[in-house]
Amino acid sequence: MMKMMRAQVIESVGKMVLKNVPVPEINDDEVLIKVKMCGICGTDLKIYSGEYAKEYLPFTSGHEFWGVVEEVGENAKGLKVGDRVSADICITCGTCYFCRRGEHLLCEHFTQLGIHTNGAFAEYVKAPWKNCYVIPDEVDDYSAAFIEPMTAVLQSSKVMDCKISTSVVVLGCGLGILHSAMAKLRGAAPVIIVGDSKKRLDLAKKMDVADYYIDITEVQDVVAEVKRITSGVGADYVLEAVGTPATYEQAFKMVRRGGVVEAFGVVGQGKTAAFEPYEFVLGEKKVRGSCAGIGNDWGEVINLLRYKRMDPKPMFSQVVPLEELEDALHELKTNKEIIKMFVCPDITERIYINK
Ligand SMILES: [Zn+2]
Ligand SMILES: [Zn+2]
């Protein structure tokens, strides 16, 4: 008899239904994972509201997960039933122009597990065995839930490549908190984080991720404030983690001559931001972009968590049962007080953390 499981299926734009569906069948190169926790991401909101990956519906989203290996394909090596694992969600072809050059994130046939294919807002999810990374015991269950978003932060940090003792501004106080922590870990000084929520900035302060905390509801001219802190020069690096044309325009202005703007925040396709070409020609300013983690970013993040180089746990707001995912999506959209929510298919009542 076919084994069934509960899964939240986005049937069409704005319509999510909790269904009984067959447990995914794995081939020799895949593993079946029993989902323990899956973070709710802005991308899930965008899929639900039809702003992203609409053409892939209906499917079950959820890409920020970890779980326990339930079944192992014949070819899988180094994995056994009962292992705690997280999976690199990127699926690339390996043979296109970009893949051949090692630029896998640009793969012409790029898909991501839980963004374009069935993901982890379900009791089980399957993944290629080569994409799985074992989570050591030293990494607790809550920290493990941050692995996927942290891989995006790590990749972005590698692309930005800030040097020791350089100034970094992080615009945005969501994932920006982790970007800020990563910049500090790399030896940037000063690190300046800019946000629009007192609660989030207070949390960032508590986590000690920066040297300066700028609240845009109190500081009128953020560009001037960054210039003031950097002795009139501007910042060596500015990382945009908000995703609006206006904040990109600020980033172009506050970066110093010869400095780097790291583009991380996703602005809707077709929207544009203005910059002065003069500043980029005579000022030799640069822009680099990066949006996701891939491959061994997973291994490296797990290593950072294992040795406590970063501790994302204070950002954990609450865990919700699978049944309440749709409500949670609405709450995330409207309630700025919530930093990060996770779904756990095993629970029947919400668990509140770091209230
Ligand atoms: Zn995400
Ligand atoms: Zn490819």
99 in Cβ contact with 87 (< 8 Å): no
Residues 116 and 184 in one domain: no
Tell whether 108 and 11 lie within a shared domain: yes
Is pLDDT above 80 for 217?
Answer: yes
Q: How many domains are there within the chain?
A: 2
The separation between CA 62 and the C-alpha centre of its own chain, rounded to angstroms, equals: 12
294 domain-assigned: no
**Dist CA 351 CA 22 (whole Å):** 28
Task: Name the closest ligand to CA 46.
Answer: 1
Asked which of 236, 258, 289 is the last residue of a domain, the reply is 289
pLDDT tens readout for residues 115-148: 999 999 999 999 999 999 999 999 999 999 999 9
299 in a structural domain: no
Ligand 1: distance of its center to the CA of 109 in Å? Answer: 19
**Across 166-183, average pLDDT:** 97
CA of 103 to the centre of ligand 2 (A): 8
Phi, psi torsion values for 269, nearest 5 degrees: -55, 140
Find the 146 Cα to ligand 1 centroid distance in Å. 10
Closest CA to 35 of 178, 188, 145, 192: 145
pLDDT digits (tens, 9 = 90+) for 274-288: 999 999 999 999 999
Same domain, 321 and 214: no
CATH code (residue 170): 3.40.50.720
The residue from 289, 320, 339 where one domain ends is 289
Clarify whether residues 132 and 119 are in a common domain: yes
8 and 137: one domain?
A: yes
Per DSSP, the three-state class of 345 is coil
Instruction: Please check the confidence at residue 352 and state whether its pLDDT lies above 70.
Output: yes
The verdict on 118 and 100 lying in the same domain is: yes
Is residue 348 in some structural domain? yes
Q: For residue 231, what are the domain limits?
A: 150-289
Report the SS3 class of residue 110. Answer: coil
**Is pLDDT above 80 for 1?**
no
On whether the CB atoms of residues 65 and 44 are closer than 8 A, the answer is no
Q: Are both 154 and 249 inside the same structural domain?
A: yes
Q: What is the mean pLDDT of residues 218-246?
A: 97
Residue 303 lies in a domain: no
Tens of pLDDT, residue by residue over 272-324, are: 999 999 999 999 999 999 989 999 999 999 999 999 999 999 999 999 999 99
* First-residue to last-residue Cα distance in the chain: 44
93 with 214, same domain? no
Residue 102 Cα, ligand 1 centroid: separation in angstroms? 23
CA of residue 177 to ligand 1 center, whole Å: 15
355 confidence band (pLDDT: 50, 70, 90):
low
For residue 143, the model assigns a pLDDT of 95
Of 289, 324, 344, the last residue of a domain is 289
In the structure, how many helices (H) and strands (E) does the chain have? Answer: 11, 18
For residue 101, is pLDDT > 90?
yes
